Chains A and B, each alone.
Chain A
Amino acid sequence: GQQLNQSPQSMFIQEGEDVSMNCTSSSIFNTWLWYKQDPGEGPVLLIALYKAGELTSNGRLTAQFGITRKDSFLNISASIPSDVGIYFCAGRTTSGTYKYIFGTGTRLKVLA
């Protein structure tokens, strides 16, 4: 199935460090969403982006909708142990199919 390229695939960081991850696509998207998924749970929406260049924050999380509309970035500042989980980006294309395509996920582990 179609998926977005998300990187890095996984990362180990020390508590207190900042984290950056990104999502890229060959298609233009008109919406980007970032989700976090804990083991055995459903993805929880973190941030939604609707305009190219848009920068949106949610607490320690900041996400940006790339100018080219083909990428998005998520930053987590001052990471804490509960940031552990899998982060997914999701994009909705402009092709009229109205479906979200999900990234492959970034698995984050925070070392206390």
Chain B
Amino acid sequence: DSGVTQTPKHLITATGQRVTLRCSPRSGDLSVYWYQQSLDQGLQFLIQYYNGEERAKGNILERFSAQQFPDLHSELNLSSLELGDSALYFCASSVGAENTEAFFGQGTRLTVV
């Protein structure tokens, strides 16, 4: 158990809908990262938050947004969902903003039908 908690584990929704994925980082970790992993693909970095502020942005679509709350949990919002958004979404956390090891949650499997 990495200490990073993601909910829900599975999500099935229809195209055009909006969903929210939740992540609770490890105790003491200030950074949260979101990654997308499509079938048999590597991990694509979406966005990083550090202590409530956006720190780095990757290949995140405009339909997607994220935030980190004062209690350091984070939410990834996916809207106007398309079939191609079906993937595993992982959250990771680390202590610092840079040069520190990141620990992953078990992921949320999103299926868009």
| Interface set, chain B 52-72, CB cutoff 8 A to A | 55-56, 58-59
Residues of chain A with a CB closer than 8 A to B48's CB: 98-99
Residues of chain A with a CB closer than 8 A to B42's CB: 3, 88, 102-105
Q: Are A42 and B44 in contact (CB under 8 A)?
A: no
Most buried by B among A35, A98, A105: A98
Q: Are B99 and A1 in contact (CB under 8 A)?
A: no
- Smallest Cβ distance from B73 to chain A, in angstroms? 17
The yes or no answer to A30 lying at the interface (CB within 8 A) is: yes
- A1-B59, A88-B43 given; A98·B98 CB < 8 A: yes
- Smallest Cβ distance from A28 to chain B, in angstroms? 14
Against A, the Cβ 8 Å flags (1 = close, 0 = not) of B38-53 are: 0000111100101000
Q: How far is the CA of A88 from the CA of B102 in the complex (A)?
A: 13
The yes or no answer to B25 lying at the interface (CB within 8 A) is: no
Indicate which residue in A40, A43, A92, A104 contacts B99 across the interface (CB closer than 8 Å): A92
- Smallest Cβ distance from A45 to chain B, in angstroms? 6
A residues bordering B, Cβ < 8 Å? 1, 3, 30-31, 33, 35, 40-45, 48, 50, 88, 90, 92, 97-105
29 A–B contacts, CB within 8 A, in A order: A1-B44, A1-B58, A3-B42, A30-B99, A31-B99, A33-B101, A33-B102, A35-B104, A40-B107, A42-B2, A42-B4, A42-B90, A42-B92, A42-B104, A42-B107, A43-B43, A43-B90, A43-B104, A44-B2, A45-B101, A48-B101, A92-B99, A97-B56, A98-B55, A99-B33, A102-B35, A102-B43, A102-B45, A104-B42
